[in-house]
Amino acid sequence: MKTKGLVVIYVLISSLLGAQEESVYKLDVNVDLTEVHVSVTDEKDRPVGNLKEENFRVFEDQTQQKLSLFRHEDIPVSLGLVIDNSRSMEPRKQRLDAAAVSFVRKSNPEDETFIVHFDDTARLDQDFTNSISLLEETLAGVTPYGQTAIYDALFVALDHMKYARNPKKAVLLMTDGVDNSSKHTLDEAVETTRRSRVAVYTVGLLSNSGGQKAEDSLVRIAEASGGRAFFPLTVEEARANMERVARDLREQYTLGYIPSNPSRNGGWRSVRVDIIPPPGTPRTTKLHANYRHGYY
């Protein structure tokens, strides 16, 4: 009888704890806070890190929003490295792999990173990890061959982000050419990127075969996500671009608000961020904000 009593008490406690956990979970998922991650630079493309909450104005569908969250701190990011493994990459592979590792080293030590490689097809070669040695082994363990499935690789990376543990997410996509092997189209890749809430930074070390078409596609993908597109001429410049992305991610401002429009009809909402320069800022100083310009 005493054992039965203990079992009943245990079941009651477990039920109460389960109900409490369910209540907390529902509370978390119903919070309607919208976060916008903003990088601010001056006219020389240098980061501006002395801004305060009063220096920002956020508008959603032309209506100014009241900020309920303001942060300017280095918070962990869930990162995806999406790396071109097509045959044309072979002469520069080792140096570009080293540049990718340098990018991770310059990022927050608490970041988690995965690797997607693409050639004829796209695949996840390394799951989320904070081990530099694992990332190095994965990058070194593939041999370039085949063609270039950029859009399919982006789909694989954005889909894998559903397993990320950090709310702030970014993808670094590196390629040297135009997509010629994907099952998905550029329009599909851009639309999926817009819906993902993942910032995509593209580095196009483009060959003559890629041309303007390749450049335009990388710009469209980056702009749809609030990221940036870079087109270095050398591997050394590509490394500098990647390290710039790492710095930008660590120095972003996070602006949060509860939308004044409470409806949830699945439609697109445009977002605009205005920068109000601090008092004493020279008139010649132009501040530029880079961020995602809307969400569904």
pLDDT at residue number 7: 41
- What pTM was estimated for this model as a whole? 0.86
pLDDT of res. 31: 56
pLDDT at res. 264: 87
Residue 103 is predicted with a pLDDT of 94
Q: State which fold the 78-250 domain adopts.
A: Rossmann fold (3.40.50)
What's residue 210's pLDDT?
62
The per-residue pLDDT for 172 is 98
pLDDT, one tens digit per residue, over 262-288 is 988 889 999 999 999 999 888 888 999
Cα–Cα distance list, 53 to 56, 66, 173, 253, 270 (Å): 6, 11, 32, 9, 21
Where exactly does CATH 3.40.50.410 map onto the chain? 78-250
Residue 33: CB partners within 8 Å, gap ≥ 6? 68, 69, 256, 257, 258
The pLDDT, as a whole number, for residue 120 is 96
- Give dist(CA 29, CA 34) in Å, integer: 12
pLDDT at 2: 46
Provide the residue count of the chain. Answer: 296
The residues of the chain scoring below 70 in pLDDT are: 1-31, 207-210
Question: What is the token pair recorded at 60?
Answer: 């959603």
Determine the pLDDT at residue 209. Answer: 57
Q: Cα 74 from chain centroid?
A: 15
Q: Is 151 left (phi over 0), alpha (psi -120 to 50) or beta?
A: alpha
